[in-house]
Amino acid sequence: MRRGAEPDVRPPERLSGVPRTRFHRPAADSHAANRLDLARTLFIVSSKSGNTLEPNILHQYFFDCVHRIVPDEPTWRRFIAITDPGSPLDHLAETRGFRHLCLGRPTIGGRYSALSDFGMVQAAVMGLDAARFLDRAEEMVHSCASCVPAAENHGVILGTVLGILARNGRDKVTIAASPDIAAFGAWLEQLLAESTGKSGRSLIPIDGERLGSPDVYGSDRLFVYFRLESAPDPKQDAAIDDLERAGYPVVRIAVAAPYDLGQEFFRSEMATAVAGAILGINPFGQPDVEASKVATRELTTEYEVTGSLGREEVFLKAAHIKFYADPDNASELAENSKTPDACLKAHLRGRQGRAGTRRLRRARRTTAAALASAPRTGYRGRLEEPGTARRAGAGVTLRRPPLTSVHGEGLTRVSSHPDRRLRTAS
């Protein structure tokens, strides 16, 4: 299995006797094929639906590469499939005789599946102690249970911070993480963007951004800092301190060691669901994701039939940027959009006009049904604890269980009981 670049997350201990694992980036497929010893490479094909275009293209591409090198051996025995039961990939793996088939749970959404087979199979192959990783994650599962009061529930607290601040204009979430766990930010970016970006509302995550000075940010920004306590970055610490002193809301999450990232996977998934509820959208739906998959399949089908992706023409040039569209849209956009900003606004208005109203109504119905069936927690829009004062321009500190304190801009201070201990798996 190929990884295009060296890992950002380095487990402190690898199990002995496990081969080196790399993850492949699609843009480098031919380059990877030339560099890899394909005769000794195991490929993992992962797709919940089993019909996602990108992994299907990649697994067929590398199957062809391997078959050319070792034509007399059963090529499919070099592939492992991870998919949901009954999917096209499940059928393919069974009929072709993949080396192994790992079936997921259909009730778990793709972007919420990091702690299921879709994340843990690769973790085990690359040498992580999966049992140890999941044992650590289970501590967070218990701390986010429905029996834990909202003021002490780690996922609810983070989700409330994200949701309340977004509703008050701070919907840009800068994700900062210590260098050794920096790849976590890319996962969280997709989770937040795909889960909340719908019905005209969203959290807009920014990952991989070099932290700037306070004067370069606006009043729409929230910072979430995952600090690896075993290997912190002093420059990141200083930049976060400067932002907090300047009055920006900052969430600090202390990660004791890389093996504790499983806790952050779960906390983030729980927080995303809570934030979605506060924003009034369904965090588990993905209308735009599915629409893009359908559109992509239509384009590839057209290409296979006609040999082209359709005629497009340039309708606007600005500096080093050229804007293309099919003839019908190009004439309309050229008439009403004389600048890049106007062009993008017209494009987005058109998309929202065609599909936005229908999706908004569907999302409202789904959210109303979900909230009607949800257990009542007493939440009324802000975290409260008697006798505490609001603090503006402060940070939010979240640590691995037990929680010590939470405070932030526009939020009421909350402290968990100091003698409370988490129930852990025996």
3-class DSSP string for 360-403: HHHHHHHHHHHHHHCCCCCCCCCCCCCCCCECCCCEEEEECCCC
Distances (CA, A) of 420 to 5, 310, 321, 398, 408: 43, 63, 58, 16, 23
* Distance in angstroms (rounded) separating the CA atoms of residues 205 and 185: 9
Residue of higher predicted confidence among 402 and 298: 298
CATH code for 134-285+382-399?
3.40.50.10490
Give the CATH fold of the 26-128 domain. Rossmann fold (3.40.50)
Torsion angle defined by CA atoms of residues 181, 271, 124 and 83, in that order, rounded to the nearest 10 degrees: -130
With pLDDT > 70 as the criterion, what percentage of the chain qualifies? 73
Residue of higher predicted confidence among 395 and 252: 252
- pLDDT above 90 for 374: no
**Residue 393 pLDDT:** 38
Read off the amino acid at residue 44: I
Comparing 26-128 with 134-285+382-399, is the CATH topology the same?
Answer: yes
Element (H, E) at 313: strand 313-318
Q: Is the dihedral of CA 364, 114, 193, 406 positive or negative?
A: positive
Question: Could you tell me the two tokens for 361?
Answer: 């109504």
**Residue 31 pLDDT:** 67
Give this prediction's pTM: 0.70
* Distance in angstroms (rounded) separating the CA atoms of residues 333 and 347: 8
* Distance in angstroms (rounded) separating the CA atoms of residues 281 and 195: 9
Sheet of 79-83: strand order equals 43-46, 79-83, 100-103
* Distance in angstroms (rounded) separating the CA atoms of residues 294 and 184: 29
- pLDDT above 70 for 3: no
Average pLDDT, the chain: 77
pLDDT digits (tens, 9 = 90+) for 58-93: 888 999 999 998 888 888 999 999 999 999 999 999
Pairing of strands 321-325, 395-399: unpaired
- pLDDT above 70 for 28: no
Q: What is the mean pLDDT of residues 200-223?
A: 93
3-class DSSP string for 84-147: CCCCHHHHHHHHHCCCEEEECCCCCCHHHCCCCHHHHHHHHHCCCCHHHHHHHHHHHHHHCCCC
SS3 label, residue 348: helix
Sequence spans of domains, the chain: 26-128, 134-285+382-399, 306-373
- pLDDT above 50 for 402: no
SS3 label, residue 73: coil
